[in-house]
Every structure is written in C-alpha cells, then in structure tokens.
Amino acid sequence: MEKVEPRSVESNESSGRIEQAVLENGVLRVTVLPSLGGKIASIQIVSSGEELLQQPLRPYAPRVPYMRFDESDASGWDECLPSVAACEVQTASGKVSVPDHGDFWQVPWQTLSRSGTELEMSADGFSLRLRFSKTLRLDGDCLHVAYRIQNLSKESVEYIWSAHPLFAVEPGDRILLPDSVREVTVEGTAENRLGRRGAKQPWPETKLANQEIIDLSVAGRITDRTGDKLFAQSPQEGWCAIERKRLKCRIELHFDPKDLPVLGLWICYGGWPEGGVNRQQCVAPEPCTAMGDSLATVMTQGGARKLEPQAQDHWALELRVGSVL
C-alpha cells in the first residue's frame, strides 16, 4: 500500500499527541487511533461532516493494563477480546485474570500497512497469548472490517469476542432488527428494570415491572438514566441497523450469523457510567461469538471458542451508511 504520513490529535497531556490514521474516500471519513487499542474514534459522513460515533466522555489518555472501561474515554468503536466482562479463567498453566472489556482496547496496535482507504493493524494480548489483527477498508458507503485471531501459545486457548461500536443517537432514533428477532435475553439492566440476568423479554415492545409498556427500539433521552445490555440469537438475515432521523441516514451492520451467532445490544441513555460527570447517549449493536459477557461463565456453559496452539480463526463485518427518505 501507499505510505501515508501520520496525523495526530491532542491527548490530555499538554505535551502529548496521539497518532491517528485517517481513511477517506469522499463518502466516509474514518479516524483510527492505533496506540489507543486500535480504536475507531470517528466515522463521519463527508458531505455533511456529521459524526456517527459516541465521542469521548473523558480526554484521550494512555491505557493501563487492567484499568476499567469507565476510567477511559468510553467512546468510539473498540474490540472486546478475550472477554467483555472482567473475570478469572482456568487455563492449563493456571488461573488467569482477564480485564474489563478484554486486553485489546488497552494495548497499542502496530500498523502493518496503510493507504488512503485501507489500514491493517495487529496487536498481542497479555492475559491470554492471542494475536489479533484487523483490516479496515473503505469502499463507497461501506466500511469493511476483516478480523483474524491466532493462538500464540503452546496450549489451547478459549475466548469470546464482541464488537463494541458505540453509535451516537438522539431521542426518536430507532434500532432496526429483522422481524425474525422477537425475543432478547437480559445480561444486565440498570435497577433491574428489565429483570435479572437471564430474563427473557419480547422485542421490541415489552412491559416493565410497573406495568409500563415501552418500545425498546426507540431511542430515549440522556435524562432517562437507563442502560441495558441484551442478547439475541443472530438473525439469519445477517444484519442490524440504526435509523438516525435527523441525519436521514440508516447505519447498517452486516455479518455472517454462522460466524457470529449472537447479537448483543448495549442501549444506553444516560445510565452509564454511574459515577461519571459525562454519560453515554448511544446504541451499540454488537455481533459476537457467544451469549454472555464473561468468558469464565461462557466457558462453563461450553459456549467459548477454542483455538489449538498456533491455530487461527477469522470473521468479518461490513458497515453501510445509506440515506432514508
């Protein structure tokens, strides 16, 4: 690929700047921060300059292994591997602690190749010996993201992975799922408003404990102070979407449900972080490998992916940004 000179953005350190890689094709502009977990920090529609991703709740800053996700900027699009929730797992070599949201948002990624519309990066984990690579490529109104994972150890390794793209939303925007999705499973919900972990709720309309009927597909306000993590079986249609009414655009994620059999949904209208001055107003549709945030729990249920020594796995996502009339 053609070499592109690096750009940088300010961090919260007066003398520090964070390198950014910018991909642009006249339709979309994608900004990636390799040193901050390979984060996709921004996806903009070039014609309007509108931003699609949740922007930082705190200034960008270097990550520290085993820090909590709410101690970071908590924005943009990160990758959760080998777990989403912090946990301890048993391996052939002994117990291992896996950090909140996994290793890879906390480590610098190495840029392997780069052009104006394509970027390939890789990083090595520290809790489990995994190498994670991804290639981003712009093509018209699409962002293609191809993933590859390799086990670098001499023993088998189990893992779960989840995309974590935090899309900004405004009241009245909609979460769109195929009609085949009629039920979701609760992983967590502020003040148990949707029930305890494992509770089943109909999608999109459901009834709260106080008998209020709500439509989970309609975005609320940041003053609602709600935060729900839900799972559904991946629709065989292989897509999910967000409709941004003011922007008159539809943001779609496409994926192969055979590779990613579960669809997570993080729906937050001011309910997280609980102690933060700034709070998220976002929806994260999260294609993933297992129904559960904790690798330890998923392992006991037999739902984790297993890689033999030096073995690899791969999958892909496609983001499409279209107009809504």
Where residue 88 falls (left for φ over 0; alpha for ψ -120 to 50; beta otherwise) is beta
In a domain, 113, yes or no: yes
Judge contact between 308 and 156, C-beta under 8 A: yes
pLDDT at 36: 97
Q: Of all residues in the chain, what percent carry a pLDDT higher than 70?
A: 95
209: in domain: yes
Instruction: For residue range 107-140, list pLDDT tens digits in order.
Output: 999 999 999 999 999 999 999 999 999 999 999 9
Query: Which range of residues forms the domain containing residue 257?
Result: 7-323
Q: Tell me if 1 is assigned to some domain.
A: no
84 lies in a domain? yes
Residue that is written with structure tokens 């195929």 in the block: 178
Query: Does 251 map to a domain?
Result: yes
For residue 6, give the nearest of 26, 30, 34 by alpha carbon: 34
Residue scoring higher pLDDT (15 or 86): 86
Number of structural domains the chain divides into: 1
Residues 258, 127: Cα–Cα separation, whole Å: 27
Task: Look over the chain and give the mean of its residue pLDDT values, rounded to a whole number.
Answer: 94
Task: Tell me whether residue 293 is in a domain.
Answer: yes
Least Cα distance to 239 among 119, 117, 142, 105 occurs for 142
pLDDT exceeds 60 at position 88: yes
Per-residue model confidence (pLDDT) at position 16: 60
Residue 256 — φ and ψ, nearest 5°?
-95, 115
| Residue in the structure block whose two tokens are 């001011």 | 270
Per-residue pLDDT of 241-270, as tens digits, reads: 999 999 999 999 999 999 999 999 999 999
User: What is the pLDDT at residue 13?
Assistant: 44
Tokens 């093509």 -> residue = 139
Residue 8 has pLDDT above 60, yes or no: no
User: Model confidence at 274, in pLDDT bands (50, 70, 90)?
Assistant: confident
Would you say residue 247 lies in a domain? yes
Say which CATH number the domain at 134 has.
Answer: 2.70.98.10
What was the pLDDT predicted at 324?
86
Cα gap 39→21, rounded to integer Å: 10
Alpha-carbon gap, residue 181 to 179, rounded angstroms: 5
Would 163 be classed as within a structural domain? Answer: yes
pLDDT band at 9 (very low <50, low <70, confident <90, very high): low
What is the pLDDT at residue 164? 98
At 65 the pLDDT is 95
**Whole-angstrom Cα distance, residue 162 to residue 260?**
9
